[in-house]
């Protein structure tokens, strides 16, 4: 069952899927329908899951799961990952590739491969104050304080020496 994202529990588990490019309006409309269909049928051991989703910055898909009534299982998480892989194939995008790093430069979101990101650090185009997206967050409440953060406060800080 789909819940309103703003009303879903702040302790809900989340998955952040970052695209390597922005979605077009046509893609958004299609994705919105497909994600709704998936979440309305998403189950764990036959129990309907209470979930929600949100698009952010035209390139992030955020799925939230309220586990107060039904927990995700290995099989239900596999269902989600298979669904995301289908989206990747259909749109020729990367959503599961952790070597894509997103960050903000001049109020614009950039996505670079890890090696390119490291090179920008070395050339001082990116520094410890650059805002990065920590897509490893686990709870909806983390979106407000732990998702868009300076490199110095993120796992990315290990890339700056």
Reported confidence tier of residue 161, pLDDT bands at 50, 70, 90: low
Distance CA(74)–CA(9), nearest Å, equals 22
The model's pLDDT over 115-141, given as tens digits with 9 standing for 90+, comes to 999 999 999 999 999 999 999 999 999
Any idea where the domains of the chain sit in the sequence? 13-91, 100-159
The model's pLDDT over 90-112, given as tens digits with 9 standing for 90+, comes to 999 999 999 999 999 999 999 99
pTM of the shown model: 0.93
The model's pLDDT over 40-82, given as tens digits with 9 standing for 90+, comes to 999 888 888 999 999 999 999 999 999 987 888 899 999 999 9
Please classify residue 7 by burial: count the beta carbons closer than 10 Å to its beta carbon, then call 0-12 exposed, 13-18 middle and 19+ buried: exposed
CATH code matching the domain that covers 13-91, chosen among 1.10.287, 3.30.70, 3.30.1330, 1.10.150: 3.30.70
Distance CA(50)–CA(42), nearest Å, equals 9
Distance CA(99)–CA(96), nearest Å, equals 9
Q: Contact, 54 vs 62, CB < 8 A?
A: yes
């Amino acid at each position: 069952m789909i819940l309103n994202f703003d009303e879903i529990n702040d302790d809900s588990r989340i998955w952040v899927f970052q695209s390597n490019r922005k979605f077009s309006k046509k893609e958004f409309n299609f994705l919105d329908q497909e994600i709704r269909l998936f979440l309305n049928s998403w189950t764990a051991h036959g129990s309907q899951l209470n979930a929600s989703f949100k698009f952010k910055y035209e390139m992030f898909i955020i799925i939230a799961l309220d586990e107060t009534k039904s927990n995700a299982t290995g099989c239900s998480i596999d269902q989600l990952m298979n669904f995301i892989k289908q989206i990747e194939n259909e749109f020729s995008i990367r959503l599961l590739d952790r070597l894509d790093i997103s960050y903000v430069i001049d109020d614009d979101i950039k996505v670079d491969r890890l090696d390119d990101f490291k090179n920008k650090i070395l050339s001082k185009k990116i520094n410890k104050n650059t805002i990065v997206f920590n897509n490893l967050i686990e709870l909806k409440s983390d979106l407000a304080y732990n998702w868009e953060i300076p490199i110095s406060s993120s796992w990315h800080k290990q890339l700056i020496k």
